[in-house]
Structure 1
Amino acid sequence: METVKHADHYNRNLECPACGKKSRFKIWDRIQIDKNPELRDKVRDLSLFRFQCPKCGHETYLDYDFLYIQSNLRLVIYYAPGGGDVTNMHQSLQKPEYEFMKAFRYRLIRQRAQLLEKLAIFDAGYDDRVIEIMKVMIQSFLAAQASPIHASLIEFTHSESGDAFHFADQSQQKSGMLPFNDSMHQTYQALERDLGEALPPDDMLEITPQWAVSFVKDHQDLFA
């Protein structure tokens, strides 16, 4: 059966890694939530990428490049886990017909965990530039405790039970959580106000933990 290519997705024959049976699976090139609102939650719970073999029931998750657009969040994500170049895709969105997206955030993301965290940050109504900087500050705070915690991982989460930062010190096998409480929100607002124009443009593609470390180092006068 030939592959039928649509404007935003196509079907591919996939071979089950467990039993070898081939079956069809829908691959999404472009996920537009305005057009397909039912995909919003399927991206966040990863069910859109779950492949279940119809013969043996084996489940696996596929990781592939796609474009994600959600207008109510003013958000465009280039998800490219394979390390591909997104230049052509980015240039295609600069055409006149996409003028309405000029004020959108554009982000390039390479890892699934980072994709889910970015979506959580934007769903909660926060600026990922400020959140990444807060994670650097939390890392320093934890390391300065009487019993230091050297958090190798800090992740923002958003749920009905509340927003929080989860951290893990893999060397000591320690983990914990800091709720995004009123005090934390005040810190966020102060950073958002005080950093002002020092922050990079909102369409800067890569806002990562590494970027945040460099930003704090280069702007230490703003954190005194």
Structure 2
Amino acid sequence: MSKNHNEIIKCPECGTEGDFKVWESINTKDDPELKDLVRSGELFMWKCPKCGNNCIVFYPTYYHQPDAKALIHYIPDAPAMAISFMKELTHDPYDEKIKLEKGCRKRVVTDMNSFREKLLILDHEYDDRIIELQKLFLIAELKKSEPDKIIEQVYFNKEKDGTVNFAIKLQGEQWGRAEFSSGNYSHIAKTFKVALAADDEVIIDTDWALAILEKQM
């Protein structure tokens, strides 16, 4: 179920206060219009009614997309309790009568870029665990070919023309691009099939990928 409440926001520019709707829980089956508003970032934007200043408001939320069997909890600086709760969760976070779909993929993300990336991966019907492993191998290849460059982050990315690739953030606020290979994706999926079948983690990131790789070796 979707759940929201209003909070008072103060503009950091002029100090004017105004209402802001905080979505504690988003269910795209109940409110399909929220699906695009989450992806555009509109649900996290507030515009000052006086000076027109646009502010990004970061707040925790559960994003549930039943048709994709996915539940993502965006919570900045996630405490251990939130992670444990997510692992054990079998129902809607706000209604025990609403059971999660069989095989529902549960994830916890702690920053907005990772949240948006998970949604993009979801839209392309990929497995974020395989994507994360693919990024790990990509980083290893780049370090071999361009050892002088320091890679800070890699994101699954979609261009304006609809094609997907990996966006690479380098030290010094520089950005690059690398090809997304469906062949590599399929190979990794096959290689790590057993390990992934036994995995039940909810935070899927670089540390998770390194741990899976170590188990495989």
| TM-score band, normalised by shorter chain | 0.7 to 0.9
* Residue 218 of structure 1: how far off its partner (Å): 2.9
Counterpart for residue 189 of structure 2: 192
Deviation per residue, 1:65-102 (Å, 9 max, x gap): 11110012210011111434325566564487344523
Counterpart for residue 106 of structure 2: 106
Closer, same or farther in 2 for the Cα pair 1:174/1:67, shift >3 Å?
closer
Equivalent positions of 1:1-224 (< 5 A) are 8-84=3-79, 85-86=81-82, 87-88=84-85, 93-94=90-91, 97-145=97-145, 148-159=148-159, 160-170=161-171, 174-180=174-180, 184-199=181-196, 201=198, 203-220=200-217
Closer, same or farther in 2 for the Cα pair 1:30/1:202, shift >3 Å?
farther
Bigger shift: residues 30-39 or 141-150 = 141-150
User: Aligned partners of 2:136, 2:163: CA distance in 1, in Å?
Assistant: 21
Q: The residue matched to 1:129 in structure 2 has which SS? A: helix
Does the CA contact (< 8 Å) of 2:90 and 2:100 recur in 1? no
Closer, same or farther in 2 for the Cα pair 1:121/1:201, shift >3 Å?
farther
TM-score scaled by structure 1?
0.84
Closer, same or farther in 2 for the Cα pair 1:131/1:35, shift >3 Å?
same
* Residue 161 of structure 1: how far off its partner (Å): 2.4
Structure 1 runs of 4+ aligned residues shifted over 3 Å read 87-100, 146-150, 200-203
Q: Any stretches of 5+ residues in structure 1 without a counterpart?
A: 1-5
Q: For 1:161, give the aligned amino acid.
A: G
Q: For 1:49, give the aligned amino acid.
A: F
Does the CA contact (< 8 Å) of 1:49 and 1:62 recur in 2? yes
User: Aligned partners of 1:212, 1:92: CA distance in 2, in Å?
Assistant: 23
* Residue 146 of structure 1: how far off its partner (Å): 5.8
Q: For 2:170, give the aligned amino acid.
A: D
* Residue 17 of structure 1: how far off its partner (Å): 1.6
Closer, same or farther in 2 for the Cα pair 1:161/1:30, shift >3 Å?
same
* Residue 145 of structure 1: how far off its partner (Å): 1.0
Deviation per residue, 1:82-134 (Å, 9 max, x gap): 43432556656448734452310000111111101111111111101110001
User: Aligned partners of 1:68, 1:122: CA distance in 2, in Å?
Assistant: 12
User: Aligned partners of 2:28, 2:57: CA distance in 1, in Å?
Assistant: 20
Deviation per residue, 1:160-186 (Å, 9 max, x gap): 421101113216x65321232xxx101
Counterpart for residue 3 of structure 1: none
Closer, same or farther in 2 for the Cα pair 1:145/1:7, shift >3 Å?
closer
Q: The residue matched to 2:169 in structure 1 has which SS? A: strand
Does the CA contact (< 8 Å) of 1:30 and 1:66 recur in 2? yes
Closer, same or farther in 2 for the Cα pair 1:198/1:88, shift >3 Å?
closer
- Number of equivalences: 211
Does the CA contact (< 8 Å) of 2:154 and 2:168 recur in 1? yes
Identity rate, percent: 27
User: Aligned partners of 1:90, 1:196: CA distance in 2, in Å?
Assistant: 21
